Structure 1
Amino acid sequence: IKTEKPINFDDVGIPGFKGEPEEKIVPMYFAVTPLSINLEALYKHISGYYKTLKIQRKWEYENNAVAKMLNYYTLPFFTTTYGIPENRVYDFLLFCAETTTIESDFKKENYGSVLLILDEKAKIYAQRLAEENKE
């Protein structure tokens, strides 16, 4: 039987995982227990794989948040309102994301707070750009 739309677990009322599956980071105290040793998890801890995986996920989250903000406010908004050059807008948003709570405010749709943070950080960023251009 051909169907136009495939049946999904939500259509039937069955709970299921939504989202993109990610590798679970096993805590060190679960990797080595008195009765067993998880060699793969132990190796990944020793080699630093889990540490780099955490950092990679953090950066991906930041980059996605910055891309969403840039998509929402658009490039002309930053160039006209704050006087930031087009090639530096992404760097400016990363600067804001690393030094403030702008990501969580944007995710909560608290746009007034986001604009206050942008106003505050734009002044600092403009000063840094001016200092960089003098050198």
Structure 2
Amino acid sequence: MRRNSYLLIFFLLFTNINFSQSVEILGRVISKTDVENIHVINKTAKSFTVTNREGAFRITAKVNDTLQFSSIQQGVKNVIISKDIITSRTMLLQLDEQVNELEEVIVGKVLSGNLISDIKNADDDRPINFYDVGIPGYKGKIATQSERRLSEAGEFKPLMFLGLLTGGLPLNPILNGISGRTKMLKERVELEHRQELLRKIKSDLSDDFFGVNDLEEGLRTDFFYFCAEAPDFKERCSGMSDLEIFEFLKEKLQKYKKNLQLSND
């Protein structure tokens, strides 16, 4: 009897210790909409990951940790880690599509059914565009003003001097290169690209990042500009996944806090 009691106590203690430890959980999100790149945040342990194209993810957690799932399409959902999840080390989560209802908007004229009245109230014919006549048109990203000016300024290349032989020497690239205007426009375009990338990062990751990383609200804008000024900012963030950008921000936050500490000392 005493031996059985010891075994029971040992089992209960072992179980309690086991549940108090963090384990890696393999999870999967299912939804009627896209399940890739959903943010998965352990708000208790302050860790972050994202789902892959199948909705799968891995994250470390323990009992009673709170996982937050968020995306533009699905909204936000919080899940408290249970003992069953820890025991199986797996979880399957259904996310519902977030529907944003808009007020009814009437576009154009309202037709009454009276032919004469409707003809009088009808809009004029819309202008014909390249889609109507089957002419291919440009569908890419519209260049900014600085990008257009840089394109017009041209870029000087030594091969251009061969134009002296044929009388077709392009003057604009040469003059703009000598005056420094081309260099100035390149720097302006580079700055615009960095600002646009920074704006997107702040919009997509700011709330989630500061949800698991502490920084005074008044310092957050300054921190983002600190990141944008880093030489490897575009290399580490342009075209990268949210998880890779998140890791970049974590590295820069450590350096930013060290700089704050040094300036305060």
- Measured against the shorter chain, the TM-score band is 0.7 to 0.9
**Aligned-partner residue type, residue 226 of structure 2:** F
Report the alpha carbon displacement of residue 131 of structure 1 after superposing the two structures with TM. Answer: 1.3
Is structure 2 residue 149 aligned with structure 1 residue 26? no
Is structure 2 residue 260 aligned with structure 1 residue 123? no
The equivalent residue for 2:180 is 48
The equivalent residue for 2:125 is 2
Secondary structure of 2:169 counterpart:
coil
Report the alpha carbon displacement of residue 111 of structure 1 after superposing the two structures with TM. Answer: 1.1
Q: Identity of aligned pairs, percent?
A: 23
2:260 and 2:209 mapped to 1: Cα distance?
Answer: 15
| Pairs aligned (count) | 128
CA radius of gyration, larger in: 2
Report the alpha carbon displacement of residue 68 of structure 1 after superposing the two structures with TM. Answer: 1.0
1:125 and 1:10 mapped to 2: Cα distance?
Answer: 51
More strand by share: 2
Q: 1:87 to 1:60 in 2, by over 3 A?
A: farther
1:16 maps to which of 131, 135, 138: 138
TM-score where L is the length of structure 2: 0.41
Q: 1:92 to 1:31 in 2, by over 3 A?
A: farther
2:261 and 2:136 mapped to 1: Cα distance?
Answer: 57
More helix by share: 1
The unaligned stretches of length 5 or more in structure 1 are none
The equivalent residue for 2:237 is 103
Secondary structure of 1:27 counterpart:
coil
The equivalent residue for 2:214 is 83
The equivalent residue for 2:203 is 71
Q: 1:8 to 1:30 in 2, by over 3 A?
A: farther
The RMSD of aligned alpha carbons is: 2.7
Q: 1:29 to 1:131 in 2, by over 3 A?
A: same
**Aligned-partner residue type, residue 143 of structure 2:** E
2:131 and 2:219 mapped to 1: Cα distance?
Answer: 43
2:260 and 2:185 mapped to 1: Cα distance?
Answer: 32
The equivalent residue for 1:39 is 171
Q: Is the 8 A contact 2:236 2:248 kept in 1?
A: yes
Secondary structure of 2:215 counterpart:
coil
Q: Is the 8 A contact 2:161 2:169 kept in 1?
A: yes
1:58 and 1:127 mapped to 2: Cα distance?
Answer: 28
The unaligned stretches of length 5 or more in structure 2 are 1-123
Secondary structure of 1:26 counterpart:
coil
**Aligned-partner residue type, residue 116 of structure 1:** E
